[in-house]
């Protein structure tokens, strides 16, 4: 009998679809998770607090397949999972639509200076002119990261008349390779980060890259806080090296109350809410898990597989 240890949060969505050959145990607390983890061949150990997830993975020495709703799993002991040969499926693409819509929202908010309009309404003040004069049409966006999120961002921006130039490993027609984009930063009005958090992407946007951007450019980060040098971004915003930044992610999270980014007019902090701006996350993840569970039992391949060596 295959033992699966799963969060009770998804029990109503998956229990009736579990094959007879799988014995499912649902945990409702950290203590139950720790107790059940050593039995697990299949594990879905997601919790808001990452520490118990790490501990559960370490205890689950029989684990052959780990599933998660999280797309970024850099906080897990990936080297250990790789040594054990554990298959990993993650939540890549589950939140892509919501995040892509957040990117568009943030860009429009900055282009039209909607923040000023909202504040005027709070003051009951009738503005006589539009505070934001930027039209998205005719602007150019560099899209770093062309996975599930990037592929949702591009058509939405193109619908607004934005020329989107993605960056991906293979390069190709209309696409920049990983060694080409830095030399072209001054050609873009928007620089959008949707890359996975890996050693390769850590700090990929720093003082040098920011200085190479247009002083009218906007940085949009819906990846991870670690992919930018946050101190350099803060300085660039303060010194008007770039026009603005939309930061859905920061380092650390939550952003400390005394961090200067909170009070900068050209910093737009959206508190890592982009993926949560939906009601379909758990349903989509449960449906994907059930499909993979039947594939696992049948000896078929799982999708999407997360590579613990590459980190995505």
Q: Are residues 258 and 284 both part of a single domain?
A: no
| Block mean pLDDT (10 aa), the chain, length 312 | 96 97 98 98 96 98 97 95 98 96 98 98 98 98 96 98 93 86 98 94 98 98 97 98 98 97 98 95 96 98 96 91
Asked if 213 and 100 touch (Cβ cutoff 8 Å), the reply is: no
Q: What's the pLDDT score for residue 288?
A: 98
The CA distance from 40 to 49, in Å, is 20
Domain-located, residue 271: yes
CA 104 to mean position of chain CA atoms? 15
Domain-located, residue 312: no
* 6 bridge partner residues: 26, 44
Q: What's the pLDDT score for residue 169?
A: 82
The CA-atom distances, in angstroms, between 1 and each of 4, 21, 307 are 10, 6, 27
Domain-located, residue 76: yes
The CA-atom distances, in angstroms, between 239 and each of 78, 117, 302 are 39, 25, 48
Please tell me the total count of domains within the chain: 2
Q: What's the pLDDT score for residue 85?
A: 98
Backbone angles phi, psi at 275, to 5 degrees: -75, -20
Nearest by Cα to 305 from 66, 43, 6: 66
Q: Are residues 119 and 255 both part of a single domain?
A: yes
Q: Are residues 177 and 161 both part of a single domain?
A: yes
CATH number of the domain encompassing residue 292: 3.40.50.720
Q: Are residues 149 and 242 both part of a single domain?
A: yes
Active site residues per annotation? 224, 253, 272
Q: Are residues 287 and 219 both part of a single domain?
A: no
Q: Are residues 246 and 153 both part of a single domain?
A: yes
3-state secondary structure at position 241: coil
Residues 6+ apart with CB under 8 A from 243: 110, 214, 215, 216, 217, 218, 266
Find the domain containing 10 and state its range: 2-94+279-298
Domain-located, residue 309: no
Q: What's the pLDDT score for residue 8?
A: 96
Q: Are residues 151 and 284 both part of a single domain?
A: no
Locate the DSSP E strands across 32-145. Answer: 42-44, 65-67, 87-89, 140-144
Q: Are residues 63 and 104 both part of a single domain?
A: no
The CA distance from 175 to 183, in Å, is 14
Q: Are residues 56 and 14 both part of a single domain?
A: yes
| Cis amide linkage into residue 52, ω under 30° from 0 | no
Q: Are residues 199 and 102 both part of a single domain?
A: yes
Q: Are residues 104 and 22 both part of a single domain?
A: no
Q: What's the pLDDT score for residue 222?
A: 98
Q: Are residues 154 and 237 both part of a single domain?
A: yes
Domain-located, residue 100: yes
């Amino acid at each position: 009998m295959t033992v699966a240890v799963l969060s009770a949060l998804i029990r109503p969505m998956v229990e009736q679809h579990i094959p007879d050959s799988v014995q499912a145990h649902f945990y409702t607390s950290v203590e139950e998770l720790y107790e059940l983890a050593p039995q697990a061949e299949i594990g879905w150990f997601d919790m808001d607090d990452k520490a118990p997830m790490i501990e559960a993975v370490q205890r689950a020495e029989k684990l052959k397949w780990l599933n998660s709703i999280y797309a970024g799993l850099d906080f897990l002991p990936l080297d250990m999972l790789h040594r054990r040969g554990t298959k990993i499926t993650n939540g890549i693409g589950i939140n892509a639509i919501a995040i892509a819509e957040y990117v568009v929202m943030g860009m429009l908010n900055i282009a039209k200076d909607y923040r000023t309009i909202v504040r005027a309404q709070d003051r009951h003040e009738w503005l006589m002119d539009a505070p934001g004069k930027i039209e998205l049409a005719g602007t150019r966006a560099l899209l770093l990261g062309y996975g599930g999120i990037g592929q949702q961002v591009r058509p939405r921006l193109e619908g607004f008349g934005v020329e989107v130039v993605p960056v991906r490993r293979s390069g190709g027609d209309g696409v920049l390779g990983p060694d080409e984009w830095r030399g072209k930063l001054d050609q873009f009005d928007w620089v959008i980060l949707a890359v996975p958090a890996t050693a390769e992407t850590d700090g990929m946007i720093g003082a040098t890259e920011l200085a190479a951007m247009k002083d009218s450019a906007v940085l949009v980060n819906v990846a991870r806080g670690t992919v930018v040098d946050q101190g350099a971004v803060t300085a660039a915003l303060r010194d008007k090296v770039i026009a603005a930044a939309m930061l859905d992610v920061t380092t650390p999270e939550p952003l400390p109350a005394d961090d200067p980014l909170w009070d900068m007019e050209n910093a737009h902090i959206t508190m890592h809410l982009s993926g949560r701006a939906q009601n379909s996350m758990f349903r989509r993840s449960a449906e994907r898990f059930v499909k993979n569970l039947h594939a696992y039992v049948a000896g078929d391949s799982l999708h999407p597989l997360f590579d613990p060596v590459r980190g995505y």
